[in-house]
Amino acid sequence: MVVLILERVKTSQRGEMSRLAIELKPGVFVATVGARVRDQIWKKVCDEWKSDALMLYSSNTEQGYVIRSNGDPSREIVEFEGLLLMAKPDPKASQKDSDEVKESSETATESPSPFLSLEDFFRSKADSLSSELDNDKE
């Protein structure tokens, strides 16, 4: 099974996708297609349409699916200890980070990510759970 979420696409492109899949909501498509067709759809979305998109499809992973992302979708895929999570950037955090970068005299090679606090949160939760498990074993 494949779920394709398209953002900011033309009506004609949605119509073309509706020939291959069911459109549940505007821009949200579901279909059962083979790997070759799935990859051809993804290539068309990325290369020809240059659309912002997310594709989820069944796979033999721990979660049972894989997520692909193209363009600048409204959410970012974050991998945390083998699990794929979706994160929505905090506009306040990104504004604060950009203000701090402007004030800094050093030039950073990477732009600050609003998702760092989310990763820190999950890591601290995982650490606390593992320490609780260690305490229970003793």
82-106: b (≥16 Cβ within 10 Å) or e: eeebebeeeeebeeebeeeeeeeee
Q: What is the pLDDT of residue 105?
A: 40
The amino acid that residue 48 corresponds to is: E
Q: What does the pLDDT look like over 48-81, one tens digit per residue?
A: 998 899 999 999 988 999 999 998 867 788 888 8
Q: What is the pLDDT of residue 55?
A: 96
> How far apart (Å, rounded) are the C-alpha atoms in residues 20 and 13?
12
* Contact by Cβ (8 Å): 94, 114: yes
- Average pLDDT score over residue span 18-46: 96
Output the CA torsion sign for 93, 95, 100, 101.
positive
Q: What is the pLDDT of residue 101?
A: 46
Domains along the chain with CATH numbers: 1-73 (3.30.70.240), 75-138 (no CATH)
Q: Are strands 28-31 and 2-7 parallel, antiparallel or unpaired?
A: antiparallel
pTM over 0.75: no
Q: What is the pLDDT of residue 137?
A: 67
